[in-house]
Amino acid sequence: MEQKFKRIAVKIGSNVLARRDGTLDITRMSALVDQTAELYKAGIEIILISSGAVASGRSEIQPQKKLDSVDQRQLFSAVGQAKLINRYYELFREHSIPVGQVLTTKESFATRRHYLNQKNCMTVMLENGVIPIVNENDTISVSELMFTDNDELSGLIASMMDADALIILSNIDGIYNGAPTDPASSVIREIGQGKDLSAYIQASKSSFGRGGMLTKTNIARKVADEGITVIIANGKRDHILVDLLQHPDETVCTRFLPSSEPVSSVKKWIAHSEGFAKGEIHINACATDVLNSEKAVSILPIGITHIEGEFEKDDIVRIIDFQGKQVGVGKANCDSRQTLEAMGKHGKKAVVHYDYLYIE
């Protein structure tokens, strides 16, 4: 087998694992496990991000009274995740491959300490030949602080674990250049950097999914910009995983071409931490120009016009240009009070150092 990728993250969407009636499609799951085992035995390190907890719990339990959406998610995922991981455990055991469960929440990515702790957990699993099977801990996730869907989670995991590729398996062959149901539409096979896809994406999403194609494309672009190949393919197609790696040219999918410029590990974390930003740093036209140039520059007080919000040193802040457009995300080198004091002055230390600045 061609070994272009040494480490891959594979996201298996709810719709790949759920049948039309919401029950777990064991045949599909078993086929995907067989393929994962084949790749594993060929020496590829694999991290699975698997949805399906809510979908598999739904068919297991009939609530006594009508439940609101939060109660439903908590109840179904508590029951369903146990069922899901048990299935994976049994199916991988037939290949003598150990697996481990990693349940996480969005907040666990907020601080660098938590982030590195999770990274360490999965690194030690991979070093010991264990396949991590990751899902959101839906039982304790707070609605406002949930991942948009598991596409977002899979992007974070691929980035955190420095994967060479992220394969997102959905119930569709890739991104169509029109409505997927329109016979005139076809799958876009390759997407280069900076391509705007918004005109193609329909608001529709599949029956058990949470995010839809728009989140998939946004995440895919961001992750590819960090130098990771992203592939969107149909998890319901037989042999898809192995085909994608063995016969990439003949296998229908959408491939986001990765940036050739490497992004440091800490910048990857910052790039995905935007949701935790505590404040905004507004910069003037001159600072915007320098930031957009090829040069490696930090945000200095002289280029700052004003700030929004209160932040501490090491908090995540958004960088806003003179036209009000967000141009980046960074880790503050000082708190908001010190920034206000230094703002507009020459010869002061950087408010966001280049090493902790991710330009979009």
Binding site, annotated residues for substrate: 51, 138, 150
Cα–Cα nearest to 157, from 104, 198, 225, 233: 104
74 binds ligand ADP (CB under 6 A): no
Cα–Cα nearest to 230, from 209, 215, 208: 215
From 52-60, 96-104, 173-181, 251-259, give the range in contact with ligand VHF by CB under 6 A: 52-60
Among 5, 9, 15, 226, binds ligand ADP (CB under 6 A): 15
132 binds, among ligand ADP, ligand VHF, none (CB under 5 to 8 A by kind): none
Query: How buried is 144 (Cβ within 10 angstroms: 0-12 exposed, 13-18 middle, 19+ buried)?
Result: exposed
From 58-66, 68-76, 209-217, 293-301, give the range in contact with ligand ADP by CB under 6 A: 209-217
Nearest distance from residue 222's CB to ligand VHF, in Å? 16
72 binds ligand ADP (CB under 6 A): no
Is the CB of 45 or the CB of 151 nearer to ligand ADP?
A: 151
Compute the distance between CA of residue 23 and CA of residue 317 in angstroms, rounded to an integer.
Answer: 43
Compute the distance between CA of residue 285 and CA of residue 248 in angstroms, rounded to an integer.
Answer: 45
Residue 155: count of CB within 10 angstroms of its CB: 30
126 binds ligand ADP (CB under 6 A): no
How open is the CA angle 295-328-276, to the nearest 5 degrees? Answer: 145
Compute the distance between CA of residue 38 and CA of residue 44 in angstroms, rounded to an integer.
Answer: 9
Give the contact letters, 110-139, x = binds to ligand VHF (CB under 6 A), - = no: -------------------------xx-x-
- Which residues, 237 to 296, sit near ligand VHF by CB under 6 A? none
Buried b (16+ CB within 10 A) or exposed e, 16-40: bbbeeebebbeebbebbbbbbbbbb
206 binds ligand ADP (CB under 6 A): yes
Nearest distance from residue 12's CB to ligand ADP, in Å? 8
Cβ-based neighbours of 136, under 8 Å, separated by 6 or more: 103, 104, 105, 106, 146, 147, 150, 153
53 binds, among ligand VHF, ligand ADP, none (CB under 5 to 8 A by kind): ligand VHF
Buried b (16+ CB within 10 A) or exposed e, 285-309: eebbeebeeeeebbbbbbbbeebee
14 binds ligand ADP (CB under 6 A): yes
54 binds, among ligand VHF, ligand ADP, none (CB under 5 to 8 A by kind): ligand VHF
Among 22, 52, 132, 174, binds ligand VHF (CB under 6 A): 52
52 binds, among ligand ADP, ligand VHF, none (CB under 5 to 8 A by kind): ligand VHF
Q: How far is CA 84 from the centre of its chain?
A: 21
Cβ-based neighbours of 349, under 8 Å, separated by 6 or more: 333, 334, 342
Cα–Cα nearest to 320, from 281, 290, 292, 294: 281
Structure tokens at 87: 């299935």
Q: Which residues are annotated as a binding site for ATP?
A: 11
234 binds ligand VHF (CB under 6 A): no
Give the contact letters, 150-189, x = binds to ligand VHF (CB under 6 A), - = no: xx--------------------------------------
Residue 258: its H or E element? none
Is the CB of 15 or the CB of 251 nearer to ligand ADP?
A: 15
Is the CB of 4 or the CB of 195 nearer to ligand ADP?
A: 195
Q: Which residues bind ligand ADP (CB under 6 A)?
A: 13-15, 151, 170-172, 175-176, 180, 200-202, 204-206, 209, 211-213, 216
Q: Which residues bind ligand VHF (CB under 6 A)?
A: 13-14, 51-55, 77, 135-136, 138, 149-151, 209-211
